[in-house]
Amino acid sequence: MPANKSGPAPKKKKGRRGRLVLITVVLLLVAGIGFGAFWGVSTVRASFPETTGSLKLPGLTNPVDVSRDARGVPQIYADTDEDLFRAQGFVQAQDRFWEMDVRRHMTSGRLSEMFGKDQVETDSFLRTLGWRDVAQKEYDTKLSPSTKKYLQAYSDGVNAYLKDHEGSALSLEYAALDFQNDYKPEKWTPVDSVAWLKAMAWDLRGNMQEEIDRSLMTSRFSAAQIDQLYPKYPYKRNKPIVEGGAVDPATKQFRPKSTANTTPAGTGAGAAVGLQSQLSSLSKSLDKIPALLGPNGNGIGSNSWVVSGDHTTTGKPLLANDPHLAPQMPSLWYQMGLHCRTTGPRCNFDASGFTFAGMPGVVIGHNQDISWGMTNLGADVSDLYLEKINSEGYLYDNQQQPFTTRKETIKVAGGASREITVRSTNNGPIVSDRDDELSTVGKSAPVGNAAPDRGDGYAISLRWTALNPGRSMDAVFELNQAKDFTGFRKAAAHFEVPSQNLIYADTKGNIGYQAPGTVPVRGKGDGTYPAPGWDPKYRWTGYIPQKALPYEYNPRRGYIVTANQAVVDEDKYPYLLTKDWGYGARSQRINDLIESKIKDGGKVSTDDMQTFQMDNSSEIARLLTPYLTKIDIKDPYVREAQQLLEGWDFTQEPDSAAAAYFNAVWRNTLKLAFGNKMPKELRVDGQCLNVRPANETGPADDLDKLVRECGERAADSAQPDGGDRWYEVVRPLLDDPGNAWWKTEDRAGRPGDANRDQLLAHAMQEARFELTSKLGKNIDNWSWGRLHQMFLKNQTLGTDGPGFLQGLFNRGPWNLGGGEAAVDATGWNAAGGYKVTWVPSMRMVVNLDDLDKSRWINLTGASGHAYSAHYYDQTDKWAKGELLPWAFSEQAVKKAAKDTLTLSP
């Protein structure tokens, strides 16, 4: 073919070159030979970091050593704090800069600059929340001088790496992105790091989704029915974290061993308002925000526990932690050690653990004296408010108030910029402005007689503690340096958002717990429904005093478990933390495992802690299976599957056919009893049913009286999700076989199942048909793992890129055991299907007797570079429940080192 003499225009030439790079990489994967393959290899490897020899890092005062073990995990040794964090920034940029860059664009509402017009809606919502603005205020007005110094040093290290790397030398993703637009990364700033805490706080914001869901349910269910679907926490069966203690009425100080009488937290009168189906638009907006930590709406979980030396084989505490987050590539966590060669005034750190790429310091781990872990406390720190507005302002206390406004310009790759106006009330930003449908929110919402005329509808504003500047970044560095429980609690007091359960152990043998966070005190209402923004009685009146937040220190029982259960019995605590706790299935199972081990003087070993983390027993299976096996099933085809449950021990191993069948029965039970009765806004997107109109209560006797309604909710946040809240919903119904929830209708509105046993038999039949379709007719070939698979996806190009491009960055599947609300919490949404939606994103067991005998593992690997040897070299071991040795002392680190890089001034 003759050469093209004219040649393409410069822009097209650049685009064509980018396409050729990607095509070559694909050819490399398929063929693996030839000159094109060599070029593809060089492109893929261009971003792999230098890990041996010596490199210049401007700004250092002394050389810094970076030792990496066989998994590529770095341990940094420096002589000053600034050198240490400058090197941390450089090294994290080596391995994870794409991830860091995407995160900062997400937190600042600038994804459109990278990915184009499809991200404008998400950016608009994030700009409305103003995370970046709040982070800037934190940096300017709240953070300590030392924290600012560390953040600047970290930024300098990142920028030193960026100065010498661009395009494919930064990562393969930039090579792919290059053919779409002319995007180039800008310099890193300290505020980029601080803003990441806002993303963490967003996914751990409390019960906002529950507020929305309850309100949406009002179109189909009565208030009494909704209460049944949100039962009270079972304090008598599932222990809270802190057992006992009280707040001194005079000093407002929480005392773990006090028995003083306190006034229980009032529930407050619920707002005399409820939102109808228009709220689904807000729910959809929430779903579009990247769920970096876990699916919106399911309630992110985690496990942590600590056992004192009185009950361990080492004679010193053992501490375990495994946060449950969204599976992604690479893992949210980055393992790292930060060591001062000599600790003293110039260099204060000797810590190791799990970090966030893009943020200095260690988030979870240990130093030379203490160890700490985190789980989501679940405090209700956000409220939605209905607002009566017009073009000029909003109504408050019978007075018209002007909006606070600001303009935001959203730059769009390959397109024109967009400008939005953000309006705020005294409660916070009006989030309903970000969707045309939301202008009609509240048109048909039932409100009290004192409510203002709804006119064209109410708007919705958001009040959230994370929109107030705080000192959580200070807390990270203070935790890293704490030497005892006093220092730990001081650091915890600054960990304002997100509210986390913090557990503690030290090398002297002490264990402890602290509930930190900025938690609001409400004048009226309990945070379970959106509140009337025009009524001053529903304003926040302040925050729970830090000294009044629950804690424990060396409790008599000798261990502490936190797994998102209630922190303290609400009948014995004068403040309202939340009405929407996790329901304690995991926490109580961990309590039971520890108790069974230490009874009669038994001791817990490091191996035991690791075994506990992989416990996959199903509480709902233990509860429901006896009812299932007693049902007289006539159909031999279904009876064959039912027999799988006879003698089953309720464990959910990957190869278990019984676990596969039970979970399918549980899914179909929930669908028949509750899911098909939900409003369309809570059902899975695209799943359509013939139902009675929402305002019709009488029976429909023919198809003409039914309406066709299709679900609108993302599959991983639809209801019923099957978590342990639903265990508590179903538990009392099992002893009430004629309860109305067991009754169903067919597609023509005629009576279907009339009682519990009929519905359970129906669910068993549906499960048999479903698994036959998915796994085959032969039940000998069924296994839970084949249904329950984990895929690791790059959170940008691996989810929305072309199919062939996704194949470059994504990995999987892995067939997993465990399940929703099991200790091995491989979560799945029963409404949406069986795929894994969250996982233990890392696991660690810290040995306070000998820190070098601690163990850890990450979900993926140290590297964010596709085709690096460390891209997912820990995943297979993670899936099997294995842990890796965790070197801490300089001697152990040197012994484990495979590569050493010296960074010189």
* pLDDT classification of 94: cutoffs 50, 70, 90: very high
Mean pLDDT of 91-118: 94
Residue 363 vs residue 444, higher pLDDT: 363
Instruction: Measure the CA–CA gap between 22 and 39, rounded to whole angstroms.
Output: 11
Residue bearing the bigger pLDDT, 30 or 637: 637
Q: Report pLDDT digits (tens) over 759-777.
A: 999 999 999 999 999 999 9
Whether 497 has a pLDDT exceeding 60, the answer reads yes
The yes-or-no verdict on residue 582 having pLDDT over 80 is yes
Segment 221-235 mean pLDDT: 95
Q: What is the pLDDT of residue 299?
A: 47
DSSP 319-385: EEEEEEE---BS-SEEEEEEEESS-BTTB--EEEEEEETTS-S-SEEEESSEEEEEEE-----EEEE
**Exposure string (b/e) for 813-838, b if CB count within 10 Å is 16 or more?**
ebbbbbbbbbbbbbbbbbbbbbbbbb
Report the pLDDT value the prediction gives residue 283, as an integer from 0 to 100.
Answer: 59
Maximum mean pLDDT: which of 154-163, 441-450, 564-573:
154-163
- Cα 551 to its chain centre, rounded Å, is 24
Q: What is the DSSP letter of 599?
A: G
pLDDT > 70 in the chain, percent: 87
Binned at pLDDT 50, 70 and 90, residue 430 comes out as: very high
Quick check: 700 pLDDT over 80?
no
* pLDDT at position 403: 97
Parallel/antiparallel/unpaired status of strands 64-68 and 500-506: unpaired
Q: In terms of DSSP H, where are the helices of 434-542?
A: 472-481, 485-493
pLDDT class of 457 with cuts at 50, 70, 90: confident
Measured at the alpha carbon of residue 97, what is the angle toward residues 31 and 11, in degrees to the nearest 5?
65
Amino acid 279: pLDDT: 55
- d(CA 855, CA 343) in angstroms, rounded, equals 24
Average confidence (pLDDT) over 473-486: 98
Q: Is 442 exposed, middle or buried (0-12, 13-18, 19+ CB in 10 A)?
A: buried
Q: Tens digits of per-residue pLDDT, 277-300?
A: 335 555 566 566 655 555 554 446
Torsion, CA 490, CA 568, CA 565, CA 274, rounded to 10: -110
> Of the ranges 247-261, 264-278, 361-375, which one carries the lowest mean pLDDT score?
264-278
Place of tokens 């590529």: 72
Contact (Cβ atoms closer than 8 angstroms) between residue 96 and residue 333: no
User: For all residues of the chain together, what is the average pLDDT?
Assistant: 88
Q: What is the band of 181 on the pLDDT scale with cuts at 50, 70, 90?
A: low
Give the model confidence (pLDDT) of 393-422 as tens digits.
Answer: 999 999 999 999 999 999 999 899 999 999
Q: Is the pLDDT assigned to residue 613 strictly greater than 90? A: yes
Evaluate if residue 39 carries a pLDDT over 90: no
- Alpha-helix residue ranges (DSSP H) falling in 710-866: 724-733, 756-775, 784-787, 797-800, 803-809
- Residue 183 pLDDT grade (very low, low, confident, very high; cuts 50, 70, 90): confident
Name the band, by pLDDT with cuts 50, 70 and 90, for residue 32: very low
pLDDT interval class at 224 (50, 70, 90): very high
Asked whether residue 809 carries a pLDDT value surpassing 60, the answer given is yes
More confident site: 760 or 115: 760
Tokens 């695209």 locate to: 686
Q: What is the pLDDT of residue 281?
A: 57
Average pLDDT over residues 358-379: 97
Q: How many CB atoms lie within 10 A of CB 654?
A: 22
Name the more confident of 153 and 690.
Answer: 153
Please give the model's pTM, rounded to 2 decimal places. 0.92
Amino acid at 724: D
In contact, 166 and 184? CB cutoff 8 Å? yes
Residue range 788-804, pLDDT digits in tens: 999 999 888 777 767 77
Q: Tell me, what's the pLDDT at 272? A: 33
Question: Which pLDDT band holds residue 218 (cuts at 50, 70, 90)?
Answer: confident
Sorting pLDDT into bands at 50, 70 and 90, what band is 848?
very high
pLDDT at 282: 56
Confidence of residue 706 (pLDDT cuts 50, 70, 90): confident
Confidence check: pLDDT of 694 > 80? no
Please, which residues bridge with residue 108 across strands? none
C-beta separation of 403 from 394 below 8 A: yes
Closest CA to 520 of 569, 560, 472, 576: 576
Q: Decide if pLDDT at 435 tops 90.
A: no
Average pLDDT over residues 433-445: 51
Which amino acid is residue 148, in one-letter code? K
